[in-house]
Chain A
């Protein structure tokens, strides 16, 4: 009888153990699932604050849910007058090298010392007017009231020895139908470093320019005397004692049966790039 009792107890023990095992297996899954759902709910129920400043300087703060948010509206900030900071050729070349190296481009708010959007648009208009006055661009480019403007401030998410704010560039786009002007302004210096103007004006296609046009496009740089060249369809000029180079290119764009568009491009580049080799005295 004692043995029978032991046998029965053993059987019930087995069943209990198996039931417990099954319960743990199923219950464990349900518990895990519930944990995951709760994690999701906790994440979704929070409110967060982020300051979209320069890349690498973002701050992320969770706001207590339903807690004491600052109800006082922020006072509108007065835009400080932008004076711009002049950069030497070497620094400009360094910045250009970083951008040419590529990386993740990030939009951000202007930081201290950088121009705002309004200032960037204003600087763009002034540049266009100046280029028209210098005879670099046709008068159509200066009719700034007719353009539709858009702008964005970008920087690169890369480690560099340069000050973070020096990497930021304003991309300003002026659109008028098929015509388009894209300018790249350095956010700290306020200068135009790159321009691509696409117009229907045939003036763009007839005027002949040599490398001496580039000092007029980039008046903030000191051109090296007699140091210019034409390679294929691109004209180059040396600046700041060879620390920088400027380039100019012209092209005609034909899309189906529409009126042709004429594009001129101006840009700065560091002199070590493979595409050029500027030889002193080898002008056009």
Chain B
């Protein structure tokens, strides 16, 4: 059952219940009060009539005539009848063949009995009592026509029914509008959810009011925002993966083409030894490049899956060790590495950070650096800054934004000659991100490049 229907039924049901209960209470109290009032009036009238009858009986003496009774009854209020205690009717103003004899059995002197009875098609409030003088007793019956009262009561009931019906219809219309108004934002929410399910992640619900529905709309908008961002990140990742695969396939295809070409040449022809050496050298070069590529991909892959344990190390100590680890590589390339580090602590995953450091040094050497300077210094709020500066060929400004992309190479031919695959900086950047930082590059073409990163400091060595 729809919420709008539930609301409508509840509102109308509750309203009807309350209205009917209240109406019943009011009408029944009103009726009782009205009847009590009629009874009081009838009893007063009976008493007045009784005094009239008593005075008449005192004046009549032993026996009275019918005329005298009629004359007396004319001085009374309401409709009157005189009966003997035995039930014989002496005089009656009541219509038709009204049988009042049973009242004589109920009537007592000093007390009055009253009841309602239908006589001649009309309802009367009858009051009866015995009026005596000496041995003579007369049962006085006085009647008040209640038809007007009962008709008024019926009109009240009809009026109440009419009012109830009108109010019920109006209430139903109001309830319908109210429930539609309450349910509308929920419908909007449903529509927005369906839009999202259909792929439109930009759908939002306008916020109105701070009630529960408004809060739900706000929460939905937050959810939609998060989903949209997540979807964009997933799309981006998917695109990156596609690009990665495409680049990877291209980087794989290029050396394989050379390998296959030269291998086929060796296979197909009898080449002179110098040509064989040349072909073999190409095959070896490309093979080395493919091996470097495989190694870097392995490292990248481990970053995706690995769980890492960070430790707090003494900054200068760590830099000293790293410089020592890469010294052979630097010497092999005919370059020099200097380092200096101020006091401070860093929180790193050492093996990963070593890989990062190695890739930065390797990159600098591939750029033709003769001197590499490593510096470490505590930078207050920013953390421990480690920078690596070289005097290589530099990077054009317009290339700086792309150098951290996987497989991107500023100078492809130079990189390939040095067995580069264009993944080193992408890997270093990924490691930097794992450490909660990023690589910042500053470079001047022909002068060199400086790369910096900020690491979280630790208070003590772990």
Chain A residues packing against B (C-beta within 8 Å):
10, 13-14, 17-18, 20-21, 24-25, 28-29, 31-33, 35-37, 39-40, 43-52, 63, 69-71, 73-74, 76-77, 106-109, 117-118, 121, 148-153
Contact = CB atoms under 8 A, between A and B. Distances in A.
A186 to B, nearest CB: 17
Contacts of A20: 9
B44 interface: yes
A29 B51 contact: no
B76 to A, nearest CB: 11
Contacts of B44: 106-107
Contact of B109 (A31, A63, A76, A106): A76
Contact of A40 (B8, B24, B153): B153
Interface string B1-42: 110011011001100110010011001100110010001000
A121 B9 contact: no
Contact of B106 (A24, A29, A43, A69): A69
Given A18-B9, A36-B31, A28 B20 contact: yes
A149 B59 contact: yes
Contacts of A152: 47-48, 51
Nearest to A109: B110
Contact of B105 (A32, A69, A107, A121): A69
Given A69-B105, A117-B51, A63 B113 contact: yes
Contact of A149 (B58, B115, B133): B58
Contact of B54 (A48, A63, A77, A117): A117
Interface in B91-148: 104-106, 108-116, 123, 130, 132-137
B157 interface: yes
Contacts of A32: 20, 23-24
Contacts of B115: 46-48
Nearest to A50: B112
Contacts of A109: 47, 110
Contacts of A48: 39, 113-115
13 contacts: A21-B9, A21-B13, A24-B16, A25-B13, A29-B165, A31-B20, A37-B157, A48-B114, A50-B112, A74-B110, A76-B134, A76-B135, A117-B58
Contact of A21 (B12, B28, B47): B12
A121 to B, nearest CB: 6
Contact of A51 (B27, B31, B51, B110): B110
A119 B135 CA distance: 17
Contacts of A73: 85, 104-105, 130, 137
Given A28-B20, A32-B20, A152-B51, A18 B5 contact: yes
A17 B35 contact: no
Nearest to A13: B1
User: Which of A10, A74, A108, A149 has most B Cβ within 10 Å?
Assistant: A74
Contact of A29 (B20, B32, B135): B20
A149 B137 CA distance: 20
Contacts of A36: 24, 27-28, 31, 157
A17 B161 CA distance: 23
Contacts, number: 142
B168 interface: yes
B52 interface: yes
B137 A25 contact: no
Contact of A52 (B106, B111, B136, B168): B111
A36 B35 CA distance: 14
B48 A107 contact: yes
B59 A33 contact: no
B174 interface: no
Nearest to B104: A73
Nearest to B48: A107
A148 B135 CA distance: 23
A259 to B, nearest CB: 26
Given A36-B27, A149-B55, 7 more contacts: A17-B5, A43-B116, A52-B46, A52-B111, A109-B110, A150-B52, A152-B48
A49 B46 CA distance: 13
A10 B13 CA distance: 20
Given A36-B157, A77-B132, A29 B164 contact: yes
B13 A24 contact: yes
Nearest to A21: B9
Nearest to A149: B55
Contacts of A107: 44, 47-48, 51
Contacts of A35: 24, 28
Contacts of B55: 117, 121, 149-151
Nearest to B59: A149
Contacts of B157: 33, 36-37
Contact of B113 (A33, A49, A148, A150): A49
B43 interface: yes
Contact of B51 (A17, A18, A25, A150): A150
A50 B47 CA distance: 12
Nearest to A150: B55
Contact of A17 (B9, B43, B123, B135): B9
A24 B12 CA distance: 9
A89 B159 CA distance: 58
A114 B104 CA distance: 27
A10 B1 contact: yes
B106 A74 contact: no
Nearest to A46: B115
Contacts of A46: 115
Given A39-B31, A151-B55, A47 B106 contact: yes
Interface string B152-172: 010001000100110010000
B8 A21 contact: yes
A118 B56 CA distance: 11
Contacts of A148: 59
Contacts of B59: 148-149
A37 to B, nearest CB: 8
Contact of A10 (B2, B16, B32, B75): B2
A14 B3 CA distance: 10
A28 B12 CA distance: 12
A14 B183 CA distance: 15
B94 to A, nearest CB: 17
User: Which of B35, B51, B133 has most A Cβ within 10 Å?
Assistant: B51
A43 B75 CA distance: 30
Contacts of B111: 49-52
Query: Which 6 A-B residue pairings sit nearest by Cβ, starting from the closest?
Result: A107-B47, A47-B115, A44-B116, A13-B1, A21-B9, A152-B51
